[in-house]
């Protein structure tokens, strides 16, 4: 019981975990702020975890509040959620390692220490969660660094091993590009890879697409002319996230090289050295458009968004760049047009400077983040004897990150299991050697 409101309430609990050390943890309530402090006292300077009372009440794990099957909060409590709810008293169960709270609304809740640890509100823990469980932090690279950051994966490993799959997705999240080697020369490879992650993202053009020289084709990218740096489909609010390009046949002519630049790095350069241009490109909304027909269905796609898109924290959310798919409609005040053009021309120049070129060979699958990379291709001569055939598809980040989280969790669990087995094994050996020494 904790009658005194002026004094911080404290419960101290100790428990002998293994023979070697004693783990203790302590809970404490700041009654005015309604903040619950939890400290694990392996040593006395251990960090203090902090939890707002209202959040604890909202996240009660009992069967009346939480639906275990769907791992989600039961919503009915929110029909009349009381934001004035207070912690009445709190205690710990040492054996179970659980925190218990009695609430002013007469409800009682129980939280495992493990669960609390994962959700600690300290800034360090939140940072850990965001960059580990949510979305890995991206690392931007200059053209010079390309050879160092480019990671290659064996197709066979990718389709058969979950750790390779996780590593590939993590690489894409961090560096925005990865190369897959030695895939079969089979039209189904792109779909197989997409299904390995989740499912292929459909667009106005269908699911897989084929990039092959096709004179007179409706889409600009089918021409064998050089294809300047661009992002795909900037005219969608839901722009396809990951581009997967499988080389089935490669032109033996001089051309047909891939061009690639990290536009987040280009944006970093602008931000640092040309802040005015950065400002213009991150604030001016551009009309991106695609007008045409595919399989007899007409479309007229438009999305208005800047070249550099920032989230609320100022991190890059997306880059849009495509000369052919920038609309001639430009819905901004007339005086802002010239400055935008100057800034965009600078962006294009810097992107070209940072662009790397390489030529994929049949069996290669080039994968990159279409929200971040600008890609292109040098021109090539396409004849009947000298063709280039690429099959492509898209996967969205929602789906790719979900898969990565599931895989990371599996890996974590496997690691813990291995660790436990090792400990058990060591324990056994110690006991055996002790027995042995006693016998001797």
Q: Which of 239, 293, 252 is nearest to 380 (CA)?
A: 252
Cα(333)–Cα(340) distance, rounded to whole angstroms? 11
Work out what residue 50 binds among another protein, Zn ion, none; the CB cut-off runs from 5 to 8 Å by kind: another protein
Cα(314)–Cα(291) distance, rounded to whole angstroms? 32
Please, which residue, 105 or 353, has the CB nearer to Zn ion? 105
Cα(194)–Cα(394) distance, rounded to whole angstroms? 8
Work out what residue 62 binds among another protein, Zn ion, none; the CB cut-off runs from 5 to 8 Å by kind: Zn ion
Q: How far is the CB of 195 from another protein (least distance, A)?
A: 10
Angle between the N-to-C axes of helices 162-175 and 189-197, in degrees from 0 to 180, rounded to the nearest 10 = 90
Going by DSSP bridges, is the β-strand pair 389-395/209-212 parallel, antiparallel, or unpaired? antiparallel
Q: What angle do CA 375, 372, 214 make, to 5 degrees?
A: 30
Please, which residue, 241 or 247, has the CB nearer to another protein? 241
Work out what residue 159 binds among another protein, Zn ion, none; the CB cut-off runs from 5 to 8 Å by kind: none
Site string for Zn ion, 3-42 (x = CB under 5 A): ----------------------------------------
Work out what residue 330 binds among Zn ion, another protein, none; the CB cut-off runs from 5 to 8 Å by kind: another protein
Q: How far is the CB of 218 from another protein (least distance, A)?
A: 5
Q: How far is the CB of 89 from another protein (least distance, A)?
A: 20
Query: Which 128-187 residues touch Zn ion, going by CB under 5 A?
Result: none
Work out what residue 215 binds among Zn ion, another protein, none; the CB cut-off runs from 5 to 8 Å by kind: none
Please, which residue, 248 or 372, has the CB nearer to another protein? 372
Quick one: tokens of 346?
Answer: 């600078």
Q: How far is the CB of 174 from another protein (least distance, A)?
A: 18
Q: How far is the CB of 118 from another protein (least distance, A)?
A: 8
Please, which residue, 203 or 367, has the CB nearer to another protein? 203
Query: Phi, psi (5° rounding) for residue 82?
Result: -100, 110
Query: Which 39-98 residues touch Zn ion, going by CB under 5 A?
Result: 60, 62, 64-65
Q: Which of 131, 56, 118, 62 is nearest to 90 (CA)?
A: 56
295: left (phi over 0), alpha (psi -120 to 50) or beta: left
Work out what residue 202 binds among Zn ion, another protein, none; the CB cut-off runs from 5 to 8 Å by kind: another protein
Cα(56)–Cα(73) distance, rounded to whole angstroms? 12
Residue 262 exposed, middle or buried by CB count within 10 Å (0-12, 13-18, 19+): buried
Work out what residue 398 binds among another protein, Zn ion, none; the CB cut-off runs from 5 to 8 Å by kind: another protein
Q: How far is the CB of 428 from another protein (least distance, A)?
A: 34
List the beta bridge partners of residue 73: 66
Q: How far is the CB of 381 from another protein (least distance, A)?
A: 19
The residue ranges that bind Zn ion (CB under 5 A) are 60, 62, 64-65
């Amino acid at each position: 019981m904790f009658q005194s409101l002026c004094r911080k309430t404290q419960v101290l609990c100790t428990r002998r975990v293994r023979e070697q050390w004693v783990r203790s943890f302590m809970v404490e309530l700041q009654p005015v702020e309604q903040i619950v402090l939890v400290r694990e006292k392996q040593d006395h300077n251990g960090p203090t975890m902090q939890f707002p009372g209202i959040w604890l009440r909202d996240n009660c794990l009992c069967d009346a509040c939480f639906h275990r099957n769907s791992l989600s909060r039961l919503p009915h409590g929110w029909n009349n959620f009381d934001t004035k709810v207070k912690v009445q008293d709190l205690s710990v169960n040492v054996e179970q390692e659980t925190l218990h709270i009695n609430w002013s609304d007469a409800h009682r809740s129980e939280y495992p220490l493990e669960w609390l640890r994962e959700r600690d509100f300290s800034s360090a823990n939140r940072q850990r969660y965001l960059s580990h469980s949510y979305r890995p932090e991206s690392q931007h690279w200059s053209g010079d660094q390309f050879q160092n950051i480019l990671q290659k994966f064996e197709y066979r490993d990718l389709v058969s091993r979950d750790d390779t799959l996780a590593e590939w997705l993590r690489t894409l999240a961090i560096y925005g590009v990865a190369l897959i080697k030695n895939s079969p020369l089979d039209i189904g490879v792109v779909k197989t890879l997409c299904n390995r992650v989740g499912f292929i993202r459909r667009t106005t053009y269908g699911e897989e697409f084929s990039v092959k020289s096709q004179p007179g084709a409706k889409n600009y990218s089918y021409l064998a002319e050089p294809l300047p740096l661009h992002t795909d489909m900037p005219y969608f609010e839901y722009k396809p996230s990951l581009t997967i390009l499988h080389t089935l046949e490669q032109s033996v002519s001089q051309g047909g090289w891939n061009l690639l630049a990290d536009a987040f790095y280009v944006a970093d350069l602008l931000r640092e050295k040309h802040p005015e241009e950065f400002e213009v490109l991150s604030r001016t909304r551009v009309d991106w458009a695609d007008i045409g027909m595919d399989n007899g269905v007409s479309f007229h796609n438009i999305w208005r968004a800047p070249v550099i898109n920032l989230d609320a924290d100022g991190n890059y959310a997306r880059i849009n760049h495509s000369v052919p798919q920038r609309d001639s409609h430009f819905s901004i005040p007339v005086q802002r047009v010239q400055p935008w053009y100057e800034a965009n021309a600078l962006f294009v120049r810097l992107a070209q400077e940072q662009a790397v070129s390489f030529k994929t060979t049949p069996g290669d699958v080039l994968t990159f983040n279409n929200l971040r990379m600008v890609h292109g291709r040098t021109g090539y001569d396409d004849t009947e004897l000298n063709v280039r055939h690429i099959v492509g598809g898209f996967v969205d980040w929602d789906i790719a990150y979900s898969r990565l989280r599931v895989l990371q969790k599996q890996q974590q669990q496997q690691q813990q299991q291995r660790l436990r087995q090792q400990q058990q094994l060591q324990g056994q050996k110690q006991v055996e050697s002790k027995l042995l020494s006693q016998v001797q």
